[in-house]
């Protein structure tokens, strides 16, 4: 579904991603871990189409299409969803209005009829239940004044509404209390199918108790320096990243 080959990206001339290779197949869950500043969010943003980053080398194909060639909105319409690490507050834009515009533009791209107000509301109610989202939040402006946890929950709610094929969750677990974590993971798991895939960026093993990854990758210094199965996450939890950094650095000096 997603194939990243030798991806290099920089911002304002500073290289951040320095040769990423990653294959994600339908039905899989990949976890990406790694120390602060290693480039996890950059990778997520580049996949979603953030224009500030300059792609200096490499290619990304998604469902056979050149992803890097698509505008951010077309990537979303093709089925890429990024749950932001820091969801943006947008005063004055109503949550409902925003979602309805988004859902219908995605549907239009896919050749489906727009949802009328009633159908949209029904869908919204159904998905709200999934993440135990409070109706009151949706009557407010998009993310405005939401708590950290509410913003994260809203991301998963939007994901449920848009039914993406590839979801990239950038530290959606950070700042969630244990109940919220359970609810959010539960939502993610229910949306999982053999036809879609999930990339979860996280610092914490605890999330991976709920969303069980098929693969775990360590991103360090703009490269995936280690890949393994869910046991790798446990090892990282226990030992931290220093041993990996040492491994990378000693290889580099050989």
Partner 1 sequence: MSTLIKQDILVELLGNTGIGFEEARAAGKEAFQAQGLPTNKSEEYKFTAITKKIEQSIQNFASAEAFEVTADQVKANVFESYEGDVLVFANGQFLPALSSTIEGVEVALLSEKANTPLGSVAKPEKDPFCALNQSSFDAGIFISVAKKAQIQKPILLLNFFKANAGQVIQPRVWIEAGDFAEVSFINHSVNLSDTPYFVNKVVEVKGGINTQIRYYKLQNEGKNAIEVSNIETDIQKDGRFTSVNISLSGEMVRNNLSINILGSNSEGNMYGLYLLNGKTHVDNHTNVDHTVAHAESNELYKGILADSSRGVFNGKIFVRQDAQKTNAFQQNNNILLSEDAVVNTKPQLEIWADDVKCSHGCTTGQLDEEALFYLQARGIAKDQAKGLLLYAFAGEVMAHIKDESFREYCIAQVQERLGSNF
Ligand X SMILES: Nc1ncnc2c1ncn2[C@@H]1O[C@H](COP(=O)(O)OP(=O)(O)OP(=O)(O)O)[C@@H](O)[C@H]1O
What is the smallest separation between the CB atom of 20 and ligand X, expressed in angstroms? 11
What is the smallest separation between the CB atom of 194 and partner 1, expressed in angstroms? 23
49 vs 127, beta carbon nearer Mg ion: 49
Q: Is 165 helix (H, G, I), strand (E, B) or coil?
A: coil
Residue 219 φ then ψ, to 5°: -100, 130
- Residues numbered 161 to 190 that lie near ligand X (CB under 6 A) are none
- Residues numbered 82 to 141 that lie near ligand X (CB under 6 A) are 85
Residues that bind partner 1 (CB under 8 A): 48-52, 71-73, 75-77, 81-82, 84, 87-88, 90-93, 97-99, 101-103, 105-106, 109, 141, 158, 162
234 binds, among Mg ion, partner 1, ligand X, none (CB under 5 to 8 A by kind): none
Q: Is 146 helix (H, G, I), strand (E, B) or coil?
A: coil
Return the ∠ at Cα 249 (arms to 169 and 225), rounded to 5°: 30
33 vs 137, beta carbon nearer ligand X: 33
Q: Is 37 helix (H, G, I), strand (E, B) or coil?
A: coil
Return the ∠ at Cα 250 (arms to 246 and 252), rounded to 5°: 120
Query: Nearest to residue 233, comparing CAs of 253, 254, 213?
Result: 213
Report how far residue 170's alpha carbon sits from residue 155's, in angstroms, rounded to the nearest whole number.
Answer: 10
Here's the x/- map for ligand X, 22-61, by CB under 6 A: it reads as: ------------x-xxxxxxx-------------------
39 binds, among ligand X, Mg ion, partner 1, none (CB under 5 to 8 A by kind): ligand X
Query: Nearest to residue 149, comparing CAs of 198, 192, 182?
Result: 182
Contact indicator for 198, 13 with CB cutoff of 8 Å: no
| Strand partners of residue 62 | 2, 65
- Of 11-19, 65-73, 175-183, 239-247: span binding ligand X (CB under 6 A): 11-19
What tokens appear for 62 in the block?
A: 């998604």
154 binds, among partner 1, ligand X, Mg ion, none (CB under 5 to 8 A by kind): none
41 vs 95, beta carbon nearer Mg ion: 41
Query: Nearest to residue 172, comparing CAs of 189, 192, 149?
Result: 149
143 vs 223, beta carbon nearer partner 1: 143
Of positions 41, 167, 205, 221, contacts Mg ion by CB under 5 A: 41
176 binds, among partner 1, Mg ion, ligand X, none (CB under 5 to 8 A by kind): none
Report how far residue 23's alpha carbon sits from residue 1's, in angstroms, rounded to the nearest whole number.
Answer: 8
Q: For the chain, what's the residue count?
A: 254
95 vs 198, beta carbon nearer Mg ion: 198
Q: What residue ranges bind Mg ion (CB under 5 A)?
A: 40-41, 85
Q: What residue ranges bind ligand X (CB under 6 A)?
A: 11-12, 14, 16, 34, 36-42, 85
């Amino acid at each position: 579904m997603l194939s990243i080959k030798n991806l290099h990206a920089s911002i304002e001339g500073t290289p951040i991603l320095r040769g990423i290779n990653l294959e994600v197949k339908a039905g899989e869950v990949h976890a990406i871990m790694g120390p602060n500043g290693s480039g996890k969010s950059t990778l997520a943003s580049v996949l979603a189409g953030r224009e500030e980053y300059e792609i200096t080398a490499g290619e990304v194909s998604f469902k056979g299409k050149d992803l890097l060639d698509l505008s951010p909105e077309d990537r979303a319409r093709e089925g890429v969803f990024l749950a932001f690490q820091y969801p943006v507050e947008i005063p004055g834009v109503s949550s409902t209005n925003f979602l309805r515009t988004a859902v219908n533009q995605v549907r239009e791209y896919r050749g489906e009829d727009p949802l009328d107000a009633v159908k949209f509301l029904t869908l919204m109610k159904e998905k709200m239940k999934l993440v135990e989202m409070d109706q009151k939040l949706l009557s407010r402006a998009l993310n405005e004044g939401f708590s950290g946890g509410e913003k994260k929950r809203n991301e998963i709610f939007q994901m449920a509404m848009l039914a993406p094929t590839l979801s990239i969750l950038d530290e959606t677990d950070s700042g969630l209390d244990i109940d919220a974590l359970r609810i959010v993971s539960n939502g993610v798991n229910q949306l999982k199918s053999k036809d879609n895939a999930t990339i979860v960026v996280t610092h914490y093993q605890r999330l991976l108790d709920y969303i069980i990854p098929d693969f775990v990758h360590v991103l360090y210094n703009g490269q995936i320096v280690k890949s393994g199965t869910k046991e790798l996450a446990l090892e990282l939890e226990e030992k931290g990243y220093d041993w990996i950094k040492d491994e990378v650095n000693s290889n580099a000096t050989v």
